[in-house]
Structure 1
Amino acid sequence: MSVERALWERDAIGLASLVRNGEISAPELVDAAIARAEATRPDVNAIAEPLYEAARARAKTIDRDLPLAGVPFAIKDLGIATKGVPTHSGSRVPAFTADFNSVMTERYLAAGLVPIATSTSPEHGLRLMTESAAFGITRNPWNTAHTSGGSSGGAAALVAAGVVPVAHASDGGGSIRVPAACTGLVGLKTARGRVPLTPLVTESWYGLVVDHALARSVRDSALLLDLTHGPDPLSPYAALPPKGAFAAAAARDPGKLKLAVYRKSPLGLPISAETQTALDTAVALAREGGHTVEEIDLPYIDRDFMADFCRTVAAAVAGMMRLEGARVGRSVSGDIERATRVIGRLGEIASAGEIYAVLQRLHATSRRLITETAQYDAVLMPIIAHPPLACGAMDPKGADEFIESMLDRLHLTRLLRFKPLLGQLMDKSLWFTHWPAIQNVSGQPSIALPVHVTAAGLPLGIQAAGRPGDEETLLSLAAQMEKISGWLTRRAPLKAPA
């Protein structure tokens, strides 16, 4: 088997085993990843910063006894610091270049991973399609006319294209799970406090954002979490400690679980037949695994809940724009995209008291959700309401573009205080992804499972949300469903090696 074929076919654990056993060398593996990155780059456009020379140098000196020695890796161009590497955050604002590594970067390096690039993100992670004025459109390796999702769409594209077997990602409103659902990958949104964001930030978006990865296999996701989880001295809080190793949880039979399935849209918007089919497939796989599944409703996860989530994000964006302006020494309003400006201005018109009340309402709903679903080991629900969209499908057009332009040019953002207008903006922003924000608010872990391929040949994943701090049950369930379904052998057809 060629090195390129092994890179395209095997997961991170499988590749590390080849390096450890001397069947291939770390420099050979990294060179193959760089070659494939360049070969697929025109097709998927998923790289923000190539790190090729640093990767080659690191591969030459890697300790091949490290758990993931020599495995090519990508780090998202958002929310994490890598010493000496510009971070653009998907924006035309001048890049930030750190003189330090984030704790997570250090843990990735200690695991033996070799970063070969930073992966593209929409501007500040605000869209669930990875398209930006700064970097253009990132495309889906399964069909390059379609999106790879967002905001970790660059990470997903690189993994699905066979460039790297696993990649760093982050999730503030579905940004790990949506790309996983679009590209046929495993995407674990970790429990709040499971991994640190320090020292770059203490928390992001009022604690909504978590970091982990997009991976080809459940076992890769589990092992990487073993190698990176746990607070550091600057962490403001920590998730409940696991009972054992996450890798061990992924390797064991889950036993007979009690599962629920939630089908409704919190926004009351249409859901495609393909999404319902994907959810039915997940339910069938769970029942084949010996689990009970019952239908539930969550009536309090509604439009008011989602509107409060949107207000929270807008407030965070407003603060972020202030910090970016202070960093570069001038207003960045002219550098950022129109939609980002509008969101930031919405955040500026909300008082501190309003945002405090919004957060308390969200926390109260989260407590109710956690309490009422505690009887279930996991709750199955959709991630995306439609199959992966065509690139550009969420760009505002016609009347929507006119309204957004007027809100921006005439500084009419205060009109968004009117609930119907805010609701209209919310629907345009979230009509593709109704559900993922629920777990960002509640802090619960949730794992994207690639259970379905549409009639058009595009992946369409669903998610299983777990109890607070219980990634172990999710990983055990996901590994069983992976085995039953056979999805582990699926690969995007883009430039498949001979």
Structure 2
Amino acid sequence: MSIERLLWEEDATTLADLVRRGEVSPIELVDAAIARAERVNPEINAIAEETFERARERAKTVDRGAPLAGVPFAIKDLGIAQKGVPTHGGSCIPAFVPDFDSVLTERYLAAGLIPIATSTTPEHGLRLMTESAAFGITRNPWNTGHTTGGSSGGAAALVAAGVVPVAHASDGGGSIRVPSACSGLVGLKTSRGRVPLSPLVSESWYGFVVDHAVTRSVRDSAALLDLTHGPDPLAPYAARPPKGTFSDAAAREPGRLRLAVYRRSPLGLEISAETLAALDTAVALAREGGHDVEEIDLPMIGRDFMADFAMSVCSAVAGTMRMEALRVGRPVLGEVERATRVLARFGELMSAGEVYETLERLHAASRKLIIETASYDAVLMPIIAHPPLPCGAMDAKGSDAFTENMLDRLRLTRMLKLRTFFGQLLDQSLWFTHWPSIQNVSGQPSIAMPVHVTAAGLPLGIQAAGRPGDEETLLSLAAQMEKLSGWTKRRAPLMKPE
């Protein structure tokens, strides 16, 4: 078997074991990953910055005793620092070139991972499709006419295409889980405070953003979390410590769990038959695993909750644009995409009192959610309301494009204070992804599981959301469902190596 085929077929745990046994070398894996990247990236457009030569140099000196020694890796082009590597955030604003590594980067390198590239993201992670004016369209290796999701869409595309077996990702409103659902991958959105974001930031989007990874297998997600979680002196808080290792949790049977299913749209928007079929597949797998499953409603999660989330993000975007202007020494709104500019201007219209009130409402709803679901070990729910969309499908069109253009050109952002106009913007932004932001607000962990393939041959994953701080139960459940479904054997057909 060629090294490229090995890289395409196996997960990180297996590759690291082969390195440890001397059956393959780190430089062989890195060279194969670079060669694969050069072959497939023209088709998927998932790389923001190549770090090929750095990777080759690191492969020569990596400690082969490290847990994931020699495993090729990608780091997202947003919210994490690699010393000397430009970070664009998917934007045309001049790149930030840090002179330090984030704590998470240090932990990746200590684990023996070898970053070969940074992965594409939409501008500042604001869209759940990875398309930007700065880098263009990132495409799905399962069908390049379709999206790989966002905002960690480049990471998901590189893993699904067999360039790397695991990749760093982050999630502020579904940005790990949506690409996983679109790309046939496992994507764990961790509990708030599980993985530090320091020293780049203390927290992002009021604590909504978390960092972890997209992976091919549950055991890879667990192993990577074991190597990267834990407090840092600069982090403002940390999730409660696990009872054991996450890898042990993924390796053991979960026992008989009490599971809930939530299948309504919190926005009251259409849900496709394929999405409901994916949810039914997950329920069937859970029952096959011996678990009790019951349907529930979540009345505290509705359009008001989603609107409050969106308004909070707008205020965060406004603050980000201020910080970027400070960094580059000039106003930057003229250099960002129209949609980003509209969100930032609306965020500037919110008073400090409005932002605080909005966050308090979100926290109150989160407390109700956590209390009312506390008796369940996990809640199954969709991630995406439709199968992976054609590229460009979420671009504003027709009346939406006209409204967005008028809001921008005539500076009529104040119209978004009217519920009708804001509701239109909300639906335009979230009609593909109704559910993921729930756990970003509540801080709960949630894992995307690639349980379903559509009639058109596209992946469609669902999620299981857990109690705060309890990734262990989710990993155990997901590993069992992985074994029952056999999803680790599925691979995107793009340029299958010999």
Supply the distance in 2 between the matched residues of 1:439 and 1:75 (Cα, whole angstroms): 23
Supply the distance in 2 between the matched residues of 1:41 and 1:475 (Cα, whole angstroms): 31
Q: Which residue in 2 is equivalent to 1:313?
A: 313
Report the AA paired with residue 160 of structure 2.
A
Supply the distance in 1 between the matched residues of 2:29 and 2:306 (Cα, whole angstroms): 44
Matched, 1:364 2:364: yes
Supply the distance in 1 between the matched residues of 2:412 and 2:375 (Cα, whole angstroms): 46
Q: Deviations over 1:8-42 (max 9, x none)?
A: 00000000011111111100100000000010011
Give the Å deviation of 1:6.
Answer: 0.6
How do 1:75-474 residues align onto structure 2 when only pairs under 5 Å count? Answer: 75-474=75-474
Q: Deviations over 1:26-66 (max 9, x none)?
A: 00100000000010011100000000000000001111111
Give the Å deviation of 1:2.
Answer: 1.2
Give the Å deviation of 1:208.
Answer: 0.3
Give the Å deviation of 1:393.
Answer: 0.2
Give the Å deviation of 1:96.
Answer: 0.1
What's the TM-score once normalised by structure 1's chain length? Answer: 1.00
Supply the distance in 1 between the matched residues of 2:3 and 2:393 (Cα, whole angstroms): 37
Q: Deviations over 1:313-354 (max 9, x none)?
A: 000000000000010000001110000000001100000000
Matched, 1:33 2:33: yes
Supply the distance in 1 between the matched residues of 2:431 and 2:299 (Cα, whole angstroms): 18
Q: SS where residue 169 of structure 2 aligns?
A: strand
Give the Å deviation of 1:231.
Answer: 1.2
Supply the distance in 1 between the matched residues of 2:378 and 2:38 (Cα, whole angstroms): 40
Q: SS where residue 379 of structure 2 aligns?
A: strand
Report the AA paired with residue 206 of structure 1.
Y
Q: Give aligned pairs, total.
A: 498
Q: SS where residue 164 of structure 2 aligns?
A: coil
Q: Deviations over 1:64-91 (max 9, x none)?
A: 1110000000000000000000000000
Report the AA paired with residue 302 of structure 1.
G
Q: Which runs of 4+ in 1 moved over 3 A?
A: none
Q: Which residue in 1 is equivalent to 2:485?
A: 485
Supply the distance in 1 between the matched residues of 2:460 and 2:399 (Cα, whole angstroms): 30
Matched, 1:57 2:57: yes
Supply the distance in 2 between the matched residues of 1:60 and 1:318 (Cα, whole angstroms): 44
Q: SS where residue 87 of structure 1 aligns?
A: coil
Query: What is the root-mean-square deviation in Å for CA atoms of aligned residues?
Result: 0.4
What's the TM-score once normalised by structure 2's chain length? Answer: 1.00
Q: Deviations over 1:343-368 (max 9, x none)?
A: 00110000000000000000000000
Supply the distance in 2 between the matched residues of 1:295 and 1:230 (Cα, whole angstroms): 35
Q: SS where residue 464 of structure 2 aligns?
A: strand
Supply the distance in 2 between the matched residues of 1:37 and 1:469 (Cα, whole angstroms): 36
Q: SS where residue 360 of structure 1 aligns?
A: helix
Q: SS where residue 260 of structure 1 aligns?
A: strand
Q: SS where residue 96 of structure 1 aligns?
A: coil
Supply the distance in 2 between the matched residues of 1:326 and 1:447 (Cα, whole angstroms): 37
Q: SS where residue 269 of structure 1 aligns?
A: coil
Report the AA paired with residue 119 of structure 1.
S
How high is the sequence identity, in percent, across the aligned residues? 78
Q: Deviations over 1:110-157 (max 9, x none)?
A: 000000000000000000000000000000000000000000000000
Supply the distance in 2 between the matched residues of 1:17 and 1:282 (Cα, whole angstroms): 31
Q: SS where residue 24 of structure 2 aligns?
A: coil
Q: Deviations over 1:150-170 (max 9, x none)?
A: 000000000000000000000
Give the Å deviation of 1:390.
Answer: 0.0
